[in-house]
Structure 1
Amino acid sequence: MSHPPRLRLLLVDDQPLFRKALASLINGQFDMTVVGEASDGAEAVAQMRALAPDLVVMDVNMPVATGIDGVRAARQAGIDLPIVMLTISDEDDDLFEAIKAGANGYLLKNLKPEQLFEGIRLAVRGEAPISPAIASRLLEAFRRGGPPSSFRAPAPGEDELELTRREAEVLRYVAAGLSNKEIATQLTITEGTVKNHVHHALEKLHLTNRVQAAAYAVRHRMGGEGGSGA
C-alpha cells in the first residue's frame, strides 16, 4: 500500500545544531520531510519562493531578520503557505505580533516531538496549533480586554458583514479549541463544510487565521445564536 506524498517542510532557526536535530526527527516520520533550511527571516522568504514547501517551521528570535519579520514579509509578498512558529519565547508580545503578522500557529520548544508532528499536520489541514499554556493565556488576555488595538478585529457592526447562525456557531467551537473534525462531529456536518464556514467567517470579520477568530469570539462573548439564518 503506497503512502501519500510526504509534506515538504522548510526549517528556519539560527542554530544549525538545532535545525539538524529537528530535521532528523522530522525525516523519521512517514508523512513529512525537510526540503530546506534557513537561518533568519529574510533567508526564509527566499527559500519559500525557491522551494515552495508545504509548511514552514520558524523560530521567533533570530539575528538579521526575526521570524516575525519573515512572516510579515512572506504575507506581504503574497506567500500564503502555513507558517508555524517554534520558539522558546512565551512572551505575550511575541505571540501577538506573530499572529498579527500572519503566523498560523505558535508552539514552544519544550513540547514533545509527537506534539510538534501533530501540530504540523494540524496546520497543513488549516488548523491553528498553539501550545496549551500559550492558548490559555491568549484567551485570558482577550477576556481582560486583549492586546493592542492594532491586533483586534472590528467591534460588532463596525465595517463587517453579519455572520450566519451556523458561522457564529462554528466560531464558538473554534474558540473552545475544537478542531474542524471535532466541530463536524458536534454539528453533524462534514469537515469540508466546517472549513467553508470558518473561511467565510474570517472573510466577513477581516481576520487572517483561526487564532484571531477564537479571540474575536471570546472578546465579543459569542454565546448566543449568532447572526441571520444558516
Structure 2
Amino acid sequence: MDIIIADDQEMVRDGLKMILSLYEDIRVVGETSHGQELLELLKTASADVILMDIRMPVMDGIEATRAVKEQYPDIKVIILTTFDEDEYIFNGLKGGASGYILKDSSSKEIIKSILAARDGNLLLNPQVSSKVVHALHRMSTESASPPSPRQDLSELLTPRELEVAREVQQGKSNKAIGEALYLTEGTVKNYVSHILDKLELSSRTELIVFLQQEP
C-alpha cells in the first residue's frame, strides 16, 4: 500500500515515516509540505492513502482534500488533526475525508485507521467524533445538515439494519460486523448502502456522526 504524507512540519512527517517503516506492506512514496505541492506530486506519483494535515500554507488540507477527491476519487484521504480544529474536522468530512487521526495517536491506531480507509471502512476516534458532532451542531443553523436522529430510527430502518448501524457506530469494518452478526461481508456492505440511502447520508463517517447525535 502506497502512502503520501502532506504536512508542513518536517518533524511530523519524519515521525510518521518512522512509524510506517515498521510495516512491510506500507510504503511512503512521497511527502509534501502543502496542498499545491501534493497536487503536483500526484501528477507523477500514485497513492492508495494520503495522510493530510489540515493547517498548511499555500493550500490547506481542506481545500487539498476536495481537490484530491475531485481529481482522484479512488484515493483515500485521512485527516491529521489536533483537538482545537472543530470546524476544520467537519469541513474535512464534507470534503470527502475517509477518516481522522489525532497527531498524538499511537502507531497501532494510525495503522488501523490507514488499513480501514484503504478497505473503505472507518475507524473514527471517539474524541474526534465528539468534535465533529460539536461542529455539526454549531454549523447546523448556517447550512444544511443530515436529518435529525431524534426521529425514531425504528421508523426508518428494519431491525437488522439497526443492528448493522450500531455496529458501524462502533467503527467496525464490514468483515467484523459480518462476524458479529453472522452475515457475509457482501451482505453487510449491502445493508450499509441501504442504511445510507434511507437516512440520506453519503458516507460511513456521516452515519457515525448522525448516530452520535442521538439523545
**Counterpart mapping for 1:143-162 below 5 A:** 146-149=137-140, 150=143, 152-154=145-147
The 3-state SS of whatever aligns with 1:98 is helix
Query: Relative to 1, partners in 2 of residues 1:46 and 1:165: Cα closer, same or farther, differing over 3 Å?
Result: farther
Residues 206 and 78 of structure 1, relative CA distance in 2, 3 Å threshold: farther
Match of 1:66 among 41, 60, 71: 60
Cα distance, 1:177–1:64 mapped onto 2, change above 3 Å: same
In structure 1, give the amino acid aligned to 2:207: A
Partner residue of 1:213? 207
CA distance in structure 2 between the aligned counterparts of 1:22 and 1:78, rounded to whole angstroms: 23
**Residues 167 and 201, structure 1, Cα contact 8 Å, conserved in 2:** yes
The one-letter amino acid of 1:86's match is L
Describe the superposition over 1:143-200 as per-residue Cα deviations: whole angstroms up to 9, x where unpaired: xx8242336224589xxxx655544432232224333233212321022321232234
Structure 1 residues not aligned, in runs of 5+: 1-6, 222-230
How large is the RMSD of aligned CA atoms in angstroms? 2.7
Unaligned runs of 5+ in 2: none
Percent identity, please.
36
Residue equivalent to 1:227: none
Q: Which amino acid aligns with 1:23?
A: K
- 2:38 maps to which of 33, 39, 44: 44
TM-score by length of 2: 0.82
CA distance in 1, matches of 2:144, 2:105: 27
Q: Quick one: which of 13, 20, 27 aligns to 1:19?
A: 13
Q: 1:14 to 1:207 in 2, by over 3 A?
A: same
CA distance in 1, matches of 2:180, 2:96: 28
In the alignment, the residues of structure 2 paired with residue 178 and residue 20 of structure 1 have an alpha-carbon distance, to the nearest angstrom, of 30
Which residue of structure 2 lines up, in the alignment, with residue 174 of structure 1? 168
Query: How many correspondences in the alignment?
Result: 208
With over 3 angstroms needed to count, the CA separation of the structure-2 counterparts of 1:218 and 1:15, relative to structure 1, is closer
- Once the two structures are overlaid, the 10-residue window that deviates more, 180-189 or 53-62, is 180-189
